[in-house]
Structure 1
Amino acid sequence: MINLNEHRDLLKQYGLEMFNLCRKQLKKSREAFINHDHDLAEDVLHSENRVNSLDLKIDRDCERFIALHNPVAVDLRFVLALRKINFDLERVGDHAYGLAKYIVEVDTPVAQELRDQLQFDEMYDSALSMLDDIQIAYQDEDAQKARKVFKKDKLLNKINLNSFSVISEQVKKDPQNIDQYLLLFSAIKKIERVGDLITNIAEEIIFYMEAEVLKHSKKKGSKKSK
Structure 2
Amino acid sequence: MTPLENEITALKKEIINMWILVQSQLNKAKEAMVSFDKDLAREVLVKEKRVNSYELKIDLDCENIFALYCPVAVDLRFLLAALKINTNLERIGDIAAGIAIYVVESTVNFDVKALESTSLLRMYDEAVNILTDTRTAFEKEDTMLARSIFKRDDVLDDINEAAPVAVAEVIKGDLNSIPEALYILSIIRKLERVGDQSKNIAEEIIFYVEAKILKHQESSQRDLEGE
- TM-score normalised over the length of structure 1: 0.94
Question: Is the Cα contact below 8 Å between 2:106 and 2:180 reproduced in 1?
Answer: no
Query: 2:158 matched to which residue of 1?
Result: 158
Structure 2 equivalent of residue 74 of structure 1: 74
Change (3 A) 1:225 1:34: farther
- Size of the aligned set, in residue pairs, is 225
Q: Distance in 2 between matches of 1:216 and 1:32?
A: 40
Q: CA separation in 2, counterparts of 1:193 and 1:13?
A: 25
Give 1:221 deviation, angstroms. 4.5
2:56 maps to amino acid = L
Alignment match, 2:128: 128
Supply the distance in 2 between the matched residues of 1:79 and 1:107 (Cα, whole angstroms).
45
- Name the SS of the counterpart of 1:215 in structure 2: helix
Look up the match of 1:190.
190
In 1, Cα distance between equivalents of 2:222 and 2:154: 15
CA deviation string 1:33-64 (max 9, x = no partner):
11111111011011011111111000000000
Alignment of 1:1-226 (within 5 A): 3-215=3-215, 217-218=217-218, 221=221, 224=225
State the Cα distance separating 1:225 from its structure 2 match: 7.6
Shift of 1:178: 1.3
- Distance in 2, matches of 1:184 and 1:217, equals 36
Q: CA deviation at 1:18?
A: 0.8
Cα distance in 1 between the residues matched to 2:47 and 2:71? 34
State the shift of 1:166 in Å: 1.9
* Deviation at residue 76 of structure 1 after TM alignment: 0.3
Q: Distance in 2 between matches of 1:219 and 1:24?
A: 34
Structure 2: distance between partners of 1:220 and 1:182: 39
CA RMSD of aligned residues (A): 1.7
Q: Deviations over 1:153-192 (max 9, x none)?
A: 1000000000012223442343222111111000100111
- Uncovered stretches (5+) of structure 1, i.e. residues with no partner: none
Moved over 6 A (4+): none
Normalised by the length of structure 2, the TM-score is 0.94
Could you tell which deviates more after superposition, 154-163 or 215-224? 215-224
Provide, for residues 2-47 of structure 1, a one-character-per-residue CA deviation record: whole Å limited to 9, x for no partner.
Answer: 7111111011111111111101101101111111111110110110
Q: Name the CA shift for 1:114/1:140 in 2 (closer, same or farther; >3 Å).
A: same
**Residue 218 of structure 1: how far off its partner (Å):** 4.2
Q: Distance in 2 between matches of 1:70 and 1:10?
A: 17
Identity of aligned residues (%): 44
**Which range moved further: 201-210 or 159-168?**
159-168
Looking at structure 2, the residues matched to 107 and 199 of structure 1 have their Cα atoms a distance apart, in angstroms, of 34
Q: 1:98–1:79: structure 2 CA closer, same or farther, 3 Å change rule?
A: same
Equivalent residue letter for 1:128:
V
Q: Which segments of 5 or more consecutive residues in structure 2 lack a partner in the other structure? A: none
How many Å separate the matches in 2 of 1:216 and 1:161?
A: 26
CA distance in 2, matches of 1:107, 1:74: 51
